[in-house]
Amino acid sequence: MEIKIPKEVRLHKETVLFGLTLRQLLCSGLAVGTAVMVYLALGPVLGKETASWVCILAAAPFAVAGFFQYNGLTFGQFLWAVLKECSGQRTFIVLPCPERGSPMIRKTADLMICNY
């Protein structure tokens, strides 16, 4: 019998139900709930076909939020980093660079180090 252990222990995700993590399960439930509510509210007004397309559009952001991961960032963390980057709000720390004697600037938003 073989037990597969991930090479990176940090990559391990604890599953709750149906192989989904808690975040994925909650976001999936929220997406389904949103789709049902939109369909029940807009079905009589717009017709069944149009309401079903609106359901998909309304539920998609919640579904994406549960399963999205980029460089270890969840959807909320990624969105926050993008908004901070687009707003131009950055914090810089100027430190002396011991190798060259020139200043080293550390961008604290995403810990990117730039040497001049």
The pLDDT tens digits of the residues spanning 50-99 come to 999 999 999 999 988 888 888 778 888 888 888 887 777 665 555 555 55
CB atoms within 10 A of CB 34: 17
Q: Is the pTM of this model over 0.75?
A: no
pLDDT in the model for residue 114: 45
pLDDT in the model for residue 98: 55
pLDDT in the model for residue 115: 43
pLDDT in the model for residue 32: 93
The pLDDT tens digits of the residues spanning 9-60 come to 655 567 667 777 888 888 889 999 999 999 999 888 888 889 999 999 999 9
CB atoms within 10 A of CB 61: 14
Task: Report d(CA 109, CA 115) in Å as an integer.
Answer: 16
CA separation, residue 110 to residues 50, 75, 76, 81, 106 (Å): 42, 16, 15, 8, 9
Q: Which residue type does 76 have? A: G
CA separation, residue 90 to residues 65, 71, 84, 107 (Å): 25, 20, 8, 7
Residue 96: phi and psi, rounded to 5, are -70, 140
